[in-house]
Amino acid sequence: MSSQPRTTPHAPRPNWVSTRNPCKACAPLGAALVMRGIAGAVPFLHGSQGCATYMRRYLISHFREPMDIATSGFSEANTIFGGGANLHLGLQNVTSQYHPSLIGIATTCLTETIGEDMHGLLHEYREKTAGTPSPTLVHVSTPSYSGTHVDGFHDAVRSVVQQLAEADASPSAYVDSFVNIFPGMVSAEDLRFLKEVAKDFAMPITLFPDYSETLDGPSMEKYEKIPAGGTTIAALRATPSAKASIELGRTLRTKSTAASFLQDKFQVPAKRIGLPIGVHESDIFFAAMEKLTGHKTPEKYRQERGRLVDAYVDGHKYLFGKRAIVFGDEDMVVGLTSFLAEIGVFPVLCASGGKSGALARSIAEVTTHVREKVAVRDGVDFMTMAEEAELKELKPDFVIGNSKGAKLARELGVPLIRVGFPIHDRIGGQRILHFGYRGAQQLFDLVVNVLLEVKQDSNSIGYSYL
Amino acid sequence: MADILRERERQVYRKGQANALPLDCEKQSAAGSVSQRACVFCGSRVVLYPIADAVHIVHGPIGCASYTWDIRGALSSGPELHRLSFSTDMQELDVVHGGEKKLYAALCELIDAHHPKAAFVYATCIVGVIGDDVAAVCKRVSLEKGIPVLPVHSEGFKGTKKDGYRAACDALLQIVGTGPTEEVSPLSINILGDFNLAGETWMIRDYYARMGVQVVSCITGDGRIDEIRRAHGAALNVVQCSGSMTYLAKTMQETYGIPFIRVSYFGIEDMSKSLYDVARHFKDKEMLKRTQSMVRTELERVMPQLTEYRKALTGKRAAIYVGGAFKAFSLVSALRHLGMTTVMVGSQTGNKEDYEQLREICDEGTIIVDDSNPLELSSFLEEKDVDVFIGGVKERPIAYKLGIGFCDHNHERKEALAGFEGMLNFAREVYGSVMSPVWQLTPRKRGSSLEVVK
């Protein structure tokens, strides 16, 4: 956070103007990820060739799966005269190569700056291709100079829902027997978990986006042009008919989201709760499920909760008073902080590159029982976190967040517990379960064991029992 | 067979097919084709990235800096400023009011904090559109801070990756010729186009040292600003990554009269030939003798193990898709050395001569492709029943999804693949992938039946 001047005993520190080792990516990346979560869809970026390629590489290194993102591939002439022709050619080429049911178009900083009229260009394209089998087109405005990849993600979710819902909002489609779930930018395993819970509650859901299969699929004999899975277009068109929407993410309160749109326009009640990480936040999630379905939480989850609390007791001594720096996407930070606070770990710094304006309030909500004041920094980068750790002598025992914090952890000489996105230096980021009692169980075992490993390895004794 | 876009039909060739060359190449990627290429910025960023005592600042919104943070395995023997990511992180107001002030402030604070020998400022897409005078800001900061501050005109839309190489070379040319050359030997070279991935430059430098050749600078592997300033004192430019560095070499020839030769450090034939070409250039008999004896020693060291790998790999089929075509030549011959056949080879940025040369060295039926994409590449892998695919991170999931081995020969690799030792590493890696038992479980090898295999 650069608005507060900081000083060292020796020399005044500048308020940094530059971003140094960013804790965020740009908005179109989040949008491309959302588009990959629609069945039969191809993500498409209207901008320079490099944007698509860099984002593919960034996502591939996390998911370790094919991630095709098409692009209009801007040239200098397009920048002067407009990229309409390239956009049209690109859409045509994607259609003839991939035969998609939907193309999800996101803009970039370039096309936003030159002021491309996406409504107009897509309208022209639809007119031009009328009468021929053409994919559904949806688009989202994602100027990279505004917000982060997480904002691009949520804006894409809202834009897709809005455009498809408005296209087909006939009252006859009224169903009232299902619920929309907007999970936020979470792992493929978290998405599978949400589907499993809904099934166990016998509650039909529209989960959007759903890249649990498209970005974590099986080995194939033949290459799939578009990987199977994803939220169907029909389901997206029907979102206004749901009896409620659940959106995950406490910091979404400052945003216009898919759920808030459906509430305002179609009177679909919206329930916003935190990412269900740890006992407290999972309890809130399961309570919401009970209320919506009228069913009690199935025994399976009660058992999981029981085992988790039992494990908390078994491990509490290893954790009490330990200190952690938590960083990453804002809602992930809130969820992790809630979890750490309930197991007795003090979050010495909760930091994010995102700047929704709601991080501090959200952290306060989940740390009411923490005695000391928790430091919260939004809109920060990793070098600022490192400086703060040094200046304020935070002395963390570990840091927890995505793999971009590896350098921070190394400098602090403490372990990094990898969660969230992206995980570029380990395998299996898409299979980390953060959600529910089961997810908390896995995180808890991981945290305790990492600390026990430090304890075991940091002395010459090498205890056999810990 | 792949559905190849009409615009791309003349960018794919099968050896033996009549009237299909010259291949259509060196053009903008077809919109919507999902090219594996990046942009102008990428070209500049990869070339300059390894210069370790300079600050590299990306002027633009955050993405370009995020996606290139610590992205290459380019090692440094000293400072590691190149492994940090700096950006002006332009916000909406900067776009409206211009980003010059922010750039100025960012440069000043970063130079004060890190004391670099120089700073590179990469202009990204919108900087070119909103009309920031990046060169003027650089000039001002350079005067105030007393170090070169070099604008890199790398707006993503202004051409292809190759134009980015050129923008990087233009920045380098501003500092070449500004350092002292008194202590430079007449038997001296610059290494151009090696990026010290996994320490490869160090291996190559060691070979030259043993030959008695002084290396004045390496551009840009383990690169240092003061070395690059002296580069004009070298007697010869030895160019590896010809796609990125030929322009620099040609300009140095015109400006300073330094001749250049093209080499490749991949595979034992090309590695040996490169060293001999340098020795022959200097017409120094003693050097040639030293080179011969060094090559003999190195070959004796690696050949027995290579022969073992060859036994296991003979008859296996490989596919290659790389950035520059020059690397592809070396890979075809290195794979042949291991008894393997190249059944598909392509590049992002090859030119007509490159593809003609590939046609000459490849077997009948080999697919040669320019600026390909995932759908084409996956169909070629299926059609040719490939055992190992050699490419970069973006190609990896195509191979893996189909249950095909993969070897990373791109910027992110952590294995040294250049030099004699590198050939051994390459063989070990190909062997380690091809021979893994995991393929036997994949649907490609055994279908999706769950029947117990005895």
DSSP A188-256: HHHHHHHHHHHHHTT--EEESS--TTTTSPPP-SS--SS-S-SB-HHHHHTGGGSSEEEEE-GGGGGS-
pLDDT surpassing 90 at residue A311: yes
Are B87 and A56 a contacting pair at CB < 8 A? no
Are B34 and A146 a contacting pair at CB < 8 A? no
Query: Among A21, A60, A90, whose Cβ lies nearest the Cβ of B32?
Result: A90
Q: Check residue A169 and give its pLDDT.
A: 56
Q: Which helix (H) or strand (E) holds B330?
A: helix B325-337
Are A144 and B70 a contacting pair at CB < 8 A? no
CATH number of B40-159: 3.40.50.1980
Q: Give CA–CA dist A206/A290, Å, rounded.
A: 17
Q: How far is CA B210 from the centre of its chain?
A: 25
Question: How many residues make up chain B in this entry?
Answer: 454
Q: Check residue B1 and give its pLDDT.
A: 54
Q: Which helix (H) or strand (E) holds B454?
A: none
Distances (CA, A) of A333 to A67, A250, A272, A326, A378: 26, 10, 16, 6, 11
Closest residue, chain B, to A60 (C-alpha): B394
Closest residue, chain B, to A53 (C-alpha): B38
Which residues from chain A sit within 8 angstroms of residue B64, using beta carbons? 50, 54
- pLDDT digit string, tens, across residues B18-70: 766 788 998 889 999 999 999 999 999 999 999 999 999 999 999 999 999 99
DSSP E strands in B76-117: the ranges are 86-87
For residue A232, say if its preceding peptide bond is cis, omega within 30 degrees of 0: no
The CATH number fitting domain B302-443, selected from 3.30.70.2860, 3.40.50.10440, 3.40.50.1980, 1.10.10.10: 3.40.50.1980
CATH number of B188-293: 3.40.50.1980
pLDDT surpassing 50 at residue A9: no
Indicate where chain B has its CATH 3.40.50.1980 domain(s).
40-159, 188-293, 302-443
CA distance B296 to chain A (A): 39
CA distance A224 to chain B (A): 9
pLDDT surpassing 90 at residue A7: no
* Range in A416-420, B20-24, B173-177, B308-312 with the lowest mean pLDDT: B20-24
Q: Give CA–CA dist A211/A36, Å, rounded.
A: 6
- pLDDT digit string, tens, across residues B389-434: 999 999 999 999 999 999 999 888 888 999 999 999 999 999 999 9
Q: Check residue B241 and give its pLDDT.
A: 81
Q: Check residue A168 and give its pLDDT.
A: 61
Identify which has the larger pLDDT, A137 or B6. A137
Q: Average the pLDDT over A290-302 and give the result.
A: 97
Q: Does A62 touch chain B (CB under 8 A)?
A: no
Task: Specify the residue for token string 């430090």.
Answer: A454
Query: Among A22, A67, A145, whose Cβ lies nearest the Cβ of B66?
Result: A22
Contact (CB, 8 A) for A359 and A376: yes
Q: Check residue B19 and give its pLDDT.
A: 66
- Token pair, residue B234, equals 């070298």
Task: Give residues 278 to 317 of A whose Cβ lies within 8 Å of B.
Answer: none
Closest residue, chain B, to A103 (C-alpha): B32
> Amino acid letter at A146?
S
Contact (CB, 8 A) for B35 and B29: yes
Are B443 and A52 a contacting pair at CB < 8 A? no
- String of b and e for A375-405 (b: at least 16 CB within 10 Å)? bbbbbbbbbbbbbbbeeeebebbbbbbbbbb
What is residue B116's DSSP assignment?
A: -
CA distance B253 to chain A (A): 31
- String of b and e for B326-359 (b: at least 16 CB within 10 Å)? bbbbbbbbbbbbbebbbbbbbbbbbbeebbebbb
Are B156 and A49 a contacting pair at CB < 8 A? yes
Q: Which residues contact A160 (CB under 8 A, 6 or more apart)?
A: A34, A35, A38, A104, A138, A140, A208, A236, A258
Q: Give CA–CA dist A333/A360, Å, rounded.
A: 11
Q: Compute the count of residue pairs across chains A and B with CB atoms less than 8 Å apart.
A: 241
Are A220 and B402 a contacting pair at CB < 8 A? yes
- pLDDT digit string, tens, across residues A255-291: 999 999 999 999 999 999 999 999 999 999 999 999 9
> Amino acid letter at B145?
K
pLDDT tier for residue A174 given thresholds of 50, 70 and 90: low
What is the full DSSP assignment across B165-182?
HHHHHHHHHTTTT-S--T
Q: Check residue A15 and give its pLDDT.
A: 87
Query: Nearest 5°: phi and psi at A243?
Result: -85, -15
pLDDT surpassing 90 at residue A105: yes
Closest residue, chain A, to B105 (C-alpha): A17
pLDDT tier for residue A462 given thresholds of 50, 70 and 90: confident
Return the percentage of chain B with pLDDT > 70, whole number. 98
Q: Give CA–CA dist A168/A241, Å, rounded.
A: 11
Contact (CB, 8 A) for B375 and B3: yes
Q: Check residue A11 and give its pLDDT.
A: 47
Are B156 and A110 a contacting pair at CB < 8 A? yes
Closest residue, chain B, to A404 (C-alpha): B69
Q: Which residues contact A422 (CB under 8 A, 6 or more apart)?
A: A58, A59, A61, A62, A402, A403, A404, A429
Are B382 and A222 a contacting pair at CB < 8 A? yes
Q: Check residue B139 and give its pLDDT.
A: 98
- Token pair, residue A284, equals 């809130």
CATH architecture under which domain A315-457 falls: 3-Layer(aba) Sandwich (3.40)
pLDDT surpassing 50 at residue B183: yes
The CATH number fitting domain A172-217+224-293, selected from 3.40.50.300, 3.60.21.10, 3.40.50.2000, 3.40.50.1980: 3.40.50.1980
Are B397 and A54 a contacting pair at CB < 8 A? no
Of B25, B134, B82, residue with least CA distance to B357: B25
Q: Give CA–CA dist A430/B8, Å, rounded.
A: 35
Sign of CA dihedral B407, B408, B410, B416: negative
Q: Check residue A4 and give its pLDDT.
A: 42
Q: Give CA–CA dist B332/B340, Å, rounded.
A: 9
pTM: 0.96
Are A19 and B86 a contacting pair at CB < 8 A? yes
Q: Give CA–CA dist A385/A407, Å, rounded.
A: 11
Closest residue, chain A, to B70 (C-alpha): A21
Q: Where are the domains of chain A?
A: 27-168, 172-217+224-293, 315-457
Q: Give CA–CA dist A432/A336, Å, rounded.
A: 13
Mean of all residue pLDDT scores within chain B: 95
Question: How many residues make up chain A in this entry?
Answer: 466
pLDDT surpassing 90 at residue B230: yes
Closest residue, chain B, to A65 (C-alpha): B397
What is residue B196's DSSP assignment?
A: -
Which residues lie across from B322 on neighbouring strands? B347
Which residues lie across from A399 on neighbouring strands? A325, A416
Q: Average the pLDDT over B341-367 and give the result.
A: 94
Closest residue, chain A, to B443 (C-alpha): A221
Q: Average the pLDDT over A307-314 and give the result.
A: 98
Biggest CA pair distance of chain B: 75
Identify which has the larger pLDDT, B2 or B228. B228
> Amino acid letter at B171?
A
Which residues from chain B sit within 8 angstroms of residue A103, using beta carbons? none
Distances (CA, A) of A44 to A73, A452, B371: 10, 46, 18
> Amino acid letter at B204?
I
Of A162, A198, A199, residue with least CA distance to A181: A198
Looking from the CA of B119 toward its CB, the CA atoms found within 13 Å total 34
What is the full DSSP assignment across A106-164?
EE-HHHHHTT--HHHHHHHHHHHTTTS---EEEEE---TTSS-HHHHHHHHHHHHHHHH
Task: Specify the residue for token string 């507060």.
Answer: A4
Mean of all residue pLDDT scores within chain A: 94
Are B31 and A93 a contacting pair at CB < 8 A? yes
What is residue A398's DSSP assignment?
A: E
A332 burial level (CB within 10 Å; 0-12, 13-18, 19+): buried
Task: Give residues 29 to 68 of B whose Cβ lies within 8 Å of A.
Answer: 29-42, 57, 60-68
Are A24 and B403 a contacting pair at CB < 8 A? no
Give the fold, CATH level 3, of A27-168: Rossmann fold (3.40.50)
Which residues from chain A sit within 8 angstroms of residue B31, using beta carbons? 71-73, 86-87, 89-90, 93
Task: Specify the residue for token string 């099968």.
Answer: B14
Q: Give CA–CA dist A85/A271, Å, rounded.
A: 42
Query: Nearest 5°: phi and psi at B236?
Result: -150, 140
Are A219 and B442 a contacting pair at CB < 8 A? yes
Task: Give residues 128 to 147 of A whose Cβ lies within 8 Å of B.
Answer: 143-146
